[in-house]
A and B are shown apart, each in its own frame.
Chain A
């Protein structure tokens, strides 16, 4: 009997997960369908760009700077053993542009902006603002969800680029200014090794995918949250956990497709 109930538990969870994925996909389709309105009223998107993009600027800039500085220090320590400190720029820039920029920026974005989105929409639902909109024949997806989606999709690549640029400066600061790696070889080896199409544009593509996924998860969890205090708090937690896992798994898949095997 214990086996049967355990199997039943696994089955129920699988069915629930598939249902949620299906609902989220339908939700994504609805957002795209109602996006035309939010582009016609662009100030709605600008308002959301402020709360997702501008408000995440400080954490992204500071985090990027420190990650770059740590990369510079650790990279120097390792490269010094092989007498190739001059390749420090290559290591810092490739690490940031390909992986750390998009991934860490997306993780910060999920916890800074994604959780806020979920809580905001969940609370709107709990206080019946969403139902009030429906009563007034205003489509809540076109009015509150789609602008947030596009704000997230637009701001994520910009934030990741800022993160990478700040990180390169952090690595430059530690490596060249403090430790004294030769400045010329730092930049010239970096430029020789980093390819614009292969490295920079693939990083941008990654952050675009992460931005879409994180925003969809955050909006869906908020829209789907039970309209109680407990429900909203649970949805916020699920947003951060699910989107962090999704970012890391998608990063592996994207890396394997972009850089693997060639």
Chain B
């Protein structure tokens, strides 16, 4: 085969392969939603994180504002320390309330941030003091059964 046709076909092959890779990255993967903007870290202590996992989303008023980066157990207080990185564009007051919510009844868990009224903002590496643990379905059912059992028989 002639050299130029050969080059043309190989060129088409390489371009098609790279285009497929770009399509996988943009359309199938999440590269297009990656934020290049800078982030800052804050952490919070929870009594119980339920099924929260690293990379879970952090939402405020339903808007994605960051991701959970690390979850460790504090060995002195035995509380779960959740480190999160928040988008620098979004600043939150110091008395922001962090609670672990569930998307749907059995869906994925995420952290919801409810801003408070403080005039000062959360500093990088700051701590969110006011937290609420995950709702654990088994505990709820347990409470329900106990409260039923305590009711006087009719």
Question: Which chain A residues have a beta carbon within 8 Å of chain B's beta carbons?
Answer: 43, 46-47, 49-50, 53-54, 57, 93, 97, 154-155, 157-159, 161-162, 164-166, 168, 187, 190-192, 194-196, 199-200, 204
Asked whether A158 and B13 contact (CB < 8 A) given A43-B3, A97-B24, the answer is yes
Cβ–Cβ contact B18 & A158, under 8 A: yes
Please name all residues of chain B whose beta carbon is closer than 8 Å to the beta carbon of A53 when the two chains form the complex: 10, 13-14, 17
B144 within 8 A of A: no
CA–CA, A159 to B13, complex, Å?
Answer: 9
Please name all residues of chain A whose beta carbon is closer than 8 Å to the beta carbon of B24 when the two chains form the complex: 97, 161, 164-165, 168, 200
CA–CA, A191 to B23, complex, Å?
Answer: 12
Cβ–Cβ contact B28 & A54, under 8 A: no
Task: Supply 8 A–B pairs (Cβ within 8 Å), ascending by A.
Answer: A50-B10, A93-B28, A155-B13, A161-B21, A162-B17, A165-B23, A168-B28, A196-B29
In chain B, what residue has the closest Cβ to A93? B28
B76 within 8 A of A: no
Cβ–Cβ contact A165 & B6, under 8 A: no
Interface residues on B, range: 20 to 34
* B interface SS class: helix
Asked whether A46 and B29 contact (CB < 8 A) given A53-B13, A161-B24, the answer is no
Interface string of B33-68 (1 = CB under 8 A from A): 110000000000000000000000000000000000
B16 within 8 A of A: yes
Cβ–Cβ contact B13 & A49, under 8 A: yes
Question: Which chain B residues have a beta carbon within 8 Å of chain A's beta carbons?
Answer: 1, 3, 6-7, 9-10, 12-14, 16-18, 20-21, 23-25, 27-34
Please name all residues of chain A whose beta carbon is closer than 8 Å to the beta carbon of B29 when the two chains form the complex: 97, 191, 194-196, 199-200
Please name all residues of chain B whose beta carbon is closer than 8 Å to the beta carbon of A200 when the two chains form the complex: 21, 24-25, 28-29, 31
Most chain A CB inside 10 Å of its own CB: which residue of B20, B23, B25: B20
- Known: A49-B13, A97-B28, A165-B24; 9 extra A-B contacts, CB below 8 A, are A53-B17, A155-B13, A158-B21, A161-B17, A162-B16, A187-B27, A196-B30, A196-B34, A200-B29
Contact among A47, A57, A154, A192 with B6 in the assembled complex (CB-CB below 8 Å): A47
Please name all residues of chain B whose beta carbon is closer than 8 Å to the beta carbon of A194 when the two chains form the complex: 28-30
Please name the 4 residue pairs, one residue from A and one from B, whose CB atoms are nearest each other, closest first.
Answer: A158-B17, A165-B20, A196-B29, A161-B20
CA–CA, A49 to B10, complex, Å?
Answer: 6
CA–CA, A165 to B1, complex, Å?
Answer: 30
Cβ–Cβ contact A190 & B28, under 8 A: yes
In chain B, what residue has the closest Cβ to A92? B28
Asked whether A191 and B17 contact (CB < 8 A) given A54-B10, A165-B24, the answer is no
Asked whether A162 and B20 contact (CB < 8 A) given A54-B13, A155-B13, the answer is yes
Smallest CB separation, A203 vs chain B (Å): 8
Smallest CB separation, A26 vs chain B (Å): 31
Asked whether A196 and B31 contact (CB < 8 A) given A43-B3, A46-B10, A47-B6, the answer is yes
Please name all residues of chain B whose beta carbon is closer than 8 Å to the beta carbon of A187 when the two chains form the complex: 27
Smallest CB separation, B29 vs chain A (Å): 4
CA–CA, A83 to B50, complex, Å?
Answer: 24
CA–CA, A162 to B7, complex, Å?
Answer: 20
Smallest CB separation, A108 vs chain B (Å): 15
